[in-house]
């Protein structure tokens, strides 16, 4: 009986530790002291039924801004896509990940 309980507790702990990075990643704000370059001009391919265009944006790789190309993403009924963006706050730049909004 003790052995089974120890195994169940160990499995629960392992699941919690594994899930933690994914949960933490969604709630962490990214601030950098270097503003992104101007957005690049992109060629937007012809519309695709059931998809919306997510424009390209500057991502931070830990050392510099790198361009992420725009892409079509599967639409969600009753929602609109809010693009990835950088906002300045007191001389620092905060990255906000693109997301669906209702």
- The tens place of each residue's pLDDT in the chain, 102 residues long, gives 555 444 333 444 444 434 444 444 455 789 999 999 999 999 999 999 999 999 999 999 999 999 999 999 999 999 999 999 999 999 999 999 999 999
Q: Where are the domains of the chain?
A: 29-101
DSSP secondary structure string, 25-57?
A: HHH--EEESSPPPPPPP-PPPPP-TTEEEE--E
Alpha carbon distance 18, 21 (integer Å): 7
Residue 11: the pLDDT is 44
């Amino acid at each position: 009986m003790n052995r089974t309980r120890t195994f169940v507790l160990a499995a629960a702990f392992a699941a919690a530790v594994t899930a933690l990075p994914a949960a933490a990643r969604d709630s962490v704000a990214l601030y950098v002291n270097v503003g992104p370059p101007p957005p690049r001009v992109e060629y937007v391919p012809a519309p695709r039924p059931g998809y919306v265009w997510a424009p390209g944006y500057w991502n931070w790789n830990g050392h510099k801004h790198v361009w992420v190309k725009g892409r079509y993403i599967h639409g969600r009924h009753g929602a609109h896509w809010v693009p990835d963006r950088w906002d300045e706050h007191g001389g620092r730049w905060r990255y906000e990940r693109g997301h669906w909004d209702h």
